[in-house]
Amino acid sequence: MNDLLLRFKILFDVLLSIDEGIDVTSILNRTLRVLLRKLGCAAGGVFVPKADSGAEKFELVVSVPRHIQSSDTLLQAADFVREMPAEEFLQGQLDPSPVHRRVGDRDFFHVLTLPGFGLLVLVKIGAKLPEELLQSMQPIVKRLAEACLAQQRKSWLQESNERFRALFENTQDSLLVFDESGAVVEANQQAQKRFGLSHEQIRAAIDAGLGLTPPGRTWSDLFAASGPNSSITWEQDLKDGAGQKMEAEIRLGIYSFQNHKRALLWIKDITERRTMEREQLRIERERERAKRLESLGLMTSGIAHDFNNMLSAISGHTELALLDVDKKDAVMQRLHHIEAATRSLSALTKQLLAFSGSGRFKLEPIDLGQLAEEILGVIRVSLPQNIDAILHGSPESCAVMADAAQMEQIIMNLVTNAAQAYEKNGGVVEVAVGRTGLDAKAIAARGLALDPGDFVILIVKDQARGMTAQQVGQIFEPFYTTKASGRGLGLAAAQGIARGHKGAICVSSTLGVGTTFEVLVPALDEARHQPFAPAEKTPAPVGKAPGEHEGTVLLVDDQPEVLEMAQLLLERLGYEVLAASGGREALSIFEKHKHKISVAVVDLTMPEMDGIEVFDALRSMRPELRVILSSGYGNEQVSLRLQNRESAHFVQKPYSLSQLQTALENAMHRSA
Amino acid sequence: MKACLDRTGTVEGLERVLYEASVRPGARGILLLTCDANHYEPLTIDPVLKRTRLPVAGAVFPAVFAKTELLELGSIAVSLPSAPRVLACGGDRSDEADITKSLMESGLGNHPTMLVLTDGLASNPTAILDALFDVFGLEITYLGGGAGSLTLQQRPCLITNEGLVRGGSVVVGLDLACGIGVGHGHAKVAGPHQITAASGRLVRSIDWHPAASYYRHLIQQRLRPGEDDTGGVVSRNFCLAMNRLDGEFVVREAVRVLDDDSLEFAAEMPEGELVDVVRADRAGMLAAATEARQEAQKNLSAPLRTNLCFTCCARRIFLQDDFEKELQALDSGEVPLFGAITVGGEIGNNGDRYLDYYNRTCVVGAFEV
């Protein structure tokens, strides 16, 4: 009787310990302690099935004492349980009867099944627990398993809830749950922050911010028409609690919760994304435009080159004809017209070359601020009286490595355009020059394709009529003009020049407000350059009348008409001319008349052997030979190549008799 | 193990035995068993303890003994041939988690035997046993008991080189094999009864009756003709015992009746526990002492060299003059015997069951050195 009561008491205490546990571990811990104390056991543990490398095995989750000791009994018990068929247990096929195992002579361990949960192991030293006791423990063991499973479910549920809560609260998007009346049931922290702190404030903010329903739909419509798990997405501009505009992507999902429909509104702030997309599009368009202009420039450059060659022949022959024709002759007048037309065409081809970025550059260190000041001084004289041009200088150095004439052309173009934009009203054209550093972000923001670095910036600003966005988009295109007179090449050429100097021009304009142009040219690294070293004074060439010159000139050009015209010009100047229509022929002639030839005039662009190669070959044969290179275009690369050959001279096609004469006299004089 | 005795109970006497024990050949540490009647204070003996060059661990007990000589004044310093690892852990404010942490960090786990000396009047005496069981399990042999005073006033009673402290426990790891024997000699006379309201060591009701009155009533029903057990406020002949299913029971001795008719026991009495009334019997108790000594020797897998014993103060109160016979029963006559009379419980476990306090029990540790 006493024993029975004691067993009953043990079971009662176990039940109490189960109820006192707050989680699976504490339930098992407490229960194990009670059992060990009451049953006089040395140790106990609970094992649960766990997937291990694909095979189900039992794993110890709670033990009392906490650490499995090294004694044989405990280790054998643990090993025995770990090898028990976990899969059969999970499928409910394991015999639930208690298992006993003897270890050594007198010790035992007992394995009891915790249905659906795991196995309970009790280690008894020196005796075996009575069979009746273990049988009578079955209901309690079942209760223990149920309590653990319930606690485990509760824990999983809690964990799932916490995970959901973490996702709900930590997203950067606003999440709102509405009931069928349209009342806010739940709002995450982001929504509370964006729309207000209380549900009422959120509701008020939403009501003020366009109602938050898809266009043309109402809450009641949506709930009535939408089945569970349906969703709809749209974009809408909203105002947040602070009245800030927000571009939003909204997804509305209808779901069922406790037999009621609920709406989950997922508001994603896409303002930044949209801004970036717009910016990306702008940059993309800018790039496309730049590419287009580049192709156009390439084509223009080729045409201008050929055109220059033809012009050389026309202008040369015209000039010779003018020398040959009697001044009273009626033809003289016509020849002057032809000469004027070729000059005009020559100016046009220069513009075309400038636009293509392959105009002839004579790169030298110049101070853009100083240049602007000089040019403004000249321009002011020609500006209408009601227009003023003022310069905001910079205390910093505005040194750039540039072709002064080309820079001058840019400033002239921009300032003249700005002045003309005022039409008859009058106003002020502001010009500012300074130095600025641009990083990749600032360059991207301007939609430019430049390498980050220090730049000299020239700003030309007017407050005239401004331009439409469409006009701004087309302004740099060649032959586009808003003026009654003009070829539409000024800004295209300016941009070409800037590009040729590894710089850029950008424009911003607001209709009715005004226009601002920014010219960016890489600043000169003064640590590496002596920007304004005193220029070497070149003594003025000694001017001689045509026909007074002596010496033999080797003339090389692949264009027969140019070759013929240049030969005539040189002969007219008094030179003996040895003409060659290509590099190899030139070298062959030079070899024969090496000591006789005093100057070589060589075309830069020729098939097979170009001018630079001929130059190098000639110099290798006679290092002191005077060489003048000529070309229809002298692009920057050619300019740089010429810079490396310091004793080379250059004459731009089409050249006149006097230009050729000057070039020859310069060459002769310097080399002497 | 060799002991040095001081019978004066003075600080000088303590210093002398500590010195003698420390200079013994092979001495690596000292176990100090000292008497409450010495009235040692931290101020006076801490400098002595700190000066001792060997590790010292010990406690203050109502009485100590060497062979059959009982000392109520003085000290016994036992030279330990193996360097002990001493950990003072847990105070009155520490819980089981704190103690567990201390034990886990202590490095005590490598020692096969642990001497556990606790403040027998501390508020949380079972915390150390639960923590020891949890951390080290039953691979280790535990031996020890509660220190303190029979006045039941809690005073500093635990000793280390750091000094004399109050509350908590001193755990001493020994690299020595030890066999344990436990005996009490009580027999069931009534029960089971249930502890229906209790908190710690305080029992407020038994079988839903006020604890003290009901306990007295139960005892009076079991008095033998002519037996007088009403001299004190609590019984000397009877105790309660908590049942264990393996037939063992853990004796719990009532030590005090409180004004609200509740009973204070020497160790924790859990609420809901089923208890029997057990009777103490002189012959049975003395026989239990002998059996404990024999069992300890049997559990030692090496030749016996020393017996260290912790016996409950209640046994001495019960046996009175016959306590000398208990000492004789504990003394094999062949090997040295040292020990102490404990307050609040005895500890002895050979690794076969949950670690618990005993009351009215004598625990013998048989050592190989």
The residues with which A629 forms a beta bridge, in sequence order, are A602, A650
Give the per-residue pLDDT at A537: 44
On whether the CB atoms of residues B59 and B147 are closer than 8 A, the answer is yes
Cβ of B245 within 8 Å of Cβ of A38? The answer is yes
Nearest by Cα to A112 from A87, A67, A69, A143: A143
Are B50 and B17 part of one and the same domain? yes
Sheet strands (E) in A447-575: 453-462, 504-510, 514-522, 552-556
The DSSP bridge pattern shows strands B202-206 and B186-199 to be antiparallel
Are B161 and B194 part of one and the same domain? no
Of A6, A33, A69, the CB nearest to B138: A69
Give the distance from residue A54's alpha carbon to the nearest chain B alpha carbon, in angstroms: 33
Of B133, B134, B246, the CB nearest to A40: B246
Using alpha carbons only, what angle is made at residue A515 by residues A512 and A519, rounded to the nearest 5 degrees?
A: 175
Rounded CA separation A272/B216 (Å): 85
Are B317 and B195 part of one and the same domain? no
Give the per-residue pLDDT at A478: 73
Residues of chain A in contact with residue B135, where contact means CB-CB under 8 angstroms, are: 65-67
Q: Which parts of chain B have pLDDT scores under 70?
A: 92-93, 229-233, 246
Domain end point (choices B254, B280, B306): B280
Burial string for A317-336 (b: 16+ CB within 10 Å, else e) reads: bbbbebeeeeeeeeeeeebe
Are B193 and B223 part of one and the same domain? yes
Are B222 and B101 part of one and the same domain? no
Are B220 and B326 part of one and the same domain? no
Domains of chain A in start order, with CATH, are 2-156 (3.30.450.40), 171-269 (3.30.450.20), 278-350 (no CATH), 364-522 (3.30.565.10), 552-671 (3.40.50.2300)
Q: What is the DSSP letter of A488?
A: S
- Tokens representing residue A617 in the block: 């070959």
Rounded CA separation A8/A133 (Å): 10
Sheet strands (E) in B67-201: 69-71, 75-80, 85-89, 113-119, 141-147, 158-160, 163-165, 169-174, 178-183, 186-199
Are B275 and B308 part of one and the same domain? no
Give the per-residue pLDDT at A358: 61
The one-letter amino acid at B115? L
Chain A, nearest residue to B270 by Cα = A13
Residues of chain A in contact with residue B354, where contact means CB-CB under 8 angstroms, are: 33, 36-37, 40-42
Cβ of A125 within 8 Å of Cβ of B136? The answer is no
Give the per-residue pLDDT at A123: 87
A7 touches chain B (CB under 8 A): yes
Kind plus residue range of the DSSP H or E element containing A75: helix A72-82
A2 touches chain B (CB under 8 A): yes
Residue A122 vs residues A148, A599, B350: alpha-carbon distances, Å: 18, 114, 18
Measured N-to-C along each axis, helices A330-356 and A490-500 cross at an angle, to the nearest 10 degrees, of: 50
Are B108 and B13 part of one and the same domain? yes
Chain B, nearest residue to A9 by Cα = B274
Nearest by Cα to B161 from B30, B35, B33: B30
Q: For B116, list phi and psi in degrees, rounded to 5.
A: -115, 110
Of B133, B192, B244, the CB nearest to A65: B133
On whether the CB atoms of residues A598 and A618 are closer than 8 A, the answer is no
Residues of chain B in contact with residue A130, where contact means CB-CB under 8 angstroms, are: 245
- Tokens representing residue A397 in the block: 């150095």
Chosen from B354, B355, B357 to mutate, greatest number of chain A CBs within 10 A: B354
Of A6, A12, A70, the CB nearest to B139: A70
Rounded CA separation B74/B5 (Å): 7
Give the distance from residue B333's alpha carbon to the nearest chain A alpha carbon, in angstroms: 30
Are B98 and B209 part of one and the same domain? no
Which range of residues forms the domain containing residue B216?
186-280
Residues of chain A in contact with residue B356, where contact means CB-CB under 8 angstroms, are: 37
On whether the CB atoms of residues B337 and B307 are closer than 8 A, the answer is yes
On whether the CB atoms of residues B277 and B218 are closer than 8 A, the answer is yes
Domain end point (choices B242, B260, B280): B280
**Following DSSP, what letter does each residue of B137-161 receive, concatenated?**
TTSSEEEEEEE--TT------EEET
Kind plus residue range of the DSSP H or E element containing A579: strand A576-580
A625 touches chain B (CB under 8 A): no
**Tokens 């310990």 -> residue:** A17
Are B260 and B193 part of one and the same domain? yes
Q: What is the DSSP letter of A523?
A: B
List the alpha helices (DSSP H) in B119-247. Answer: 125-136, 211-221
Rounded CA separation B365/B369 (Å): 12
**Tokens 């004027």 -> residue:** A340
Residue B110 vs residues A191, A298, A303, B70, B266: alpha-carbon distances, Å: 59, 88, 96, 34, 32
Give the per-residue pLDDT at A544: 61
Q: What is the DSSP letter of A264?
A: E
Nearest by Cα to B59 from B133, B176, B140, B149: B149
On whether the CB atoms of residues B327 and B320 are closer than 8 A, the answer is no
Measured N-to-C along each axis, helices A2-20 and A24-39 cross at an angle, to the nearest 10 degrees, of: 160
With 0-12 / 13-18 / 19 or more C-beta atoms within 10 angstroms meaning exposed / middle / buried, residue A137 is buried
Nearest by Cα to A65 from B131, B247, B56, B188: B131
Are B85 and B218 part of one and the same domain? no
Rounded CA separation B27/B1 (Å): 9
A15 touches chain B (CB under 8 A): no
Domain end point (choices B248, B280, B312): B280
Count of domains observed in chain B: 2
Residues of chain A in contact with residue B133, where contact means CB-CB under 8 angstroms, are: 64-65
Rounded average pLDDT per 10-residue block, chain A, 672 residues: 68 76 83 84 86 71 75 77 79 79 84 87 85 81 85 84 86 84 81 75 61 66 71 79 80 82 85 87 79 75 78 83 82 85 78 67 81 86 85 84 85 88 86 90 79 91 89 78 69 83 89 92 71 43 61 90 87 90 92 89 85 88 87 58 64 81 80 42
On whether the CB atoms of residues A366 and A374 are closer than 8 A, the answer is no
Cβ of B354 within 8 Å of Cβ of A127? The answer is no
Residues with Cβ within 8 Å of residue A85, at least 6 apart in sequence: A94
Rounded CA separation A503/A39 (Å): 92
On whether the CB atoms of residues B303 and B368 are closer than 8 A, the answer is yes
Nearest by Cα to A583 from A632, A647, A629: A629
**Tokens 């586009």 -> residue:** A480
The DSSP bridge pattern shows strands A55-64 and A43-52 to be antiparallel
Starting at the edge strand found earlier in the chain, the sheet holding B113-119 runs B85-89, B169-174, B113-119, B141-147, B346-349
Are B253 and B336 part of one and the same domain? no
